[in-house]
Chains A and B, each alone.
Chain A
Amino acid sequence: MNKCTVSDIQELLPDLLHGALAEAEKVRVEAHVATCESCQEDLDVLRTVKSAAVFAPSIDVDRVVRQIPPYRAIVPVEAPARTRVASWLVAATLALFVVGGGSVLMTRQNSSGTSVKAPAVDSGAPVATAQSSAPSRVAVATPNPRITEPASSHPHALALAAEADGLSDRGLVQLMNDMDTFDALPGSEPDPVISVDSGDSL
């Protein structure tokens, strides 16, 4: 038997078997098969193979359907990802704000250094605050204030003490006297310190 050389016809034989050819194509293939022994043999083999596929078990459709979970639309995965990114951005911005703000605050304090907490004379007395917009030789705020006893009677030395808790009576008296000579004292009284009661006034 001569081997068929019309490869496109050979490839179409399964489609002929399944009735999947257009009418014109079907006529062309059938006309060839009628005269080609090799293609007739191929077609016989294909018929045998197709009909042999009968030993597959029969499927219980209802049983399969019962196992199928109900439909749930898939939520696009971009949304949670975007939310996650946004959360990180917000957190990063807040962190930047806190760190940056703190740095600016510290820089301002270091550069202007115009305020100093005045020593409290009495633990029950309101805190007097020296305020000034102009640079002063009095108010020098240091990032790491140390409590020092004035080494001399010079006001500069006294003003280095950021806290007055550790001052002796003599030091305190000198501080009070020096405050009278400060150039940078405000012309008006400082705002009164409002003490917060524990709800008694309500």
Chain B
Amino acid sequence: MTPSPEGRPEETDMELIDRWKAGDSRAATRLVGRHSQALARFAASAGEREGIEELVQDTFIRAFASLDSFRGASTLRTWLFTIERRLMLDRRRAERRSRETVPVQETDHVSEYGALDSLIAEEAQERVRKSLDALSPTQREVFTLRVQQGLSYKEIAEVVGSTEGAARVHYHNAIQTVKEFLRDE
């Protein structure tokens, strides 16, 4: 148990889960507050452009509905990333299907991401986003989980359903691509 900024010992995720199961709804608030921004960042880094808040919400609803199956073998955050990643894949599949059947509208290019873009003041951030766009989806996931979320290769392998060795290779290839992209810009 690590100390909180107020000096009180910080409850672990497992302790909060037990408290929530015992009927303490404040424990759910603590858990969501602890992990929601990381989930939002992961979604944004993975290329999600719309409905990130809904995605995070769905992730927590699914996670809390199946908390009995979480045994603590991995960290709760890794487990949440795994759930969120599945939801993202489902969403992308659904989008692909709808794109195949629904004609493209003139207004389709106007998105939440456009609004978010306007908030990005620094040129470096825009360049990073473009460099991440140059990666394959798996490379991008591995790279952002490693660099922005600080997950270990073992945890990344759990999230993306791969092996530690494959995660290392994806990370190595990704940093080479990003480095070259930023150097050429």
* Chain A residues packing against B (C-beta within 8 Å): 10-11, 14-15, 17-18, 20, 41-42, 45-46, 48-65, 67-71, 73-74
Contact = CB atoms under 8 A, between A and B. Distances in A.
Interface of A is mostly: helix
B94 interface: no
B135 to A, nearest CB: 11
A45 B147 CA distance: 10
10 contacts: A11-B171, A46-B147, A55-B44, A55-B120, A57-B53, A59-B53, A64-B36, A64-B57, A64-B60, A70-B23
Interface of B: 20-21, 23, 25, 28-29, 32-33, 36-37, 39-41, 43-45, 52-53, 56-57, 60-61, 64-65, 67-69, 112, 116-117, 119-120, 124-125, 128-129, 131-132, 143-144, 146-148, 150, 152-153, 168, 171-172, 175, 178-179, 182
A74 B53 CA distance: 28
B65 A53 contact: no
A11 B144 contact: no
B143 to A, nearest CB: 8
A58 B152 CA distance: 25
A50 B151 CA distance: 13
Contact of A57 (B52, B117, B144, B175): B52
Given A57-B116, A64-B56, A52 B40 contact: no
B32 A61 contact: yes
Contacts of B64: 68-69, 71
A71 B31 CA distance: 14
Contacts of A41: 179
A54 B179 contact: no
Contacts of B124: 48, 52
B150 A14 contact: yes
A99 to B, nearest CB: 44
A73 B68 contact: yes
A59 B147 CA distance: 21
A125 to B, nearest CB: 74
A60 B53 contact: yes
A75 B125 CA distance: 49
A51 to B, nearest CB: 8
A86 B175 CA distance: 60
A52 B65 contact: no
What 8 A-B pairs are tightest by C-beta distance, nearest first?
Answer: A18-B150, A52-B128, A56-B44, A56-B40, A59-B36, A52-B125, A56-B41, A53-B148
A67 B60 CA distance: 9
A55 B125 contact: yes
Contacts of B147: 14, 17, 46, 49-50
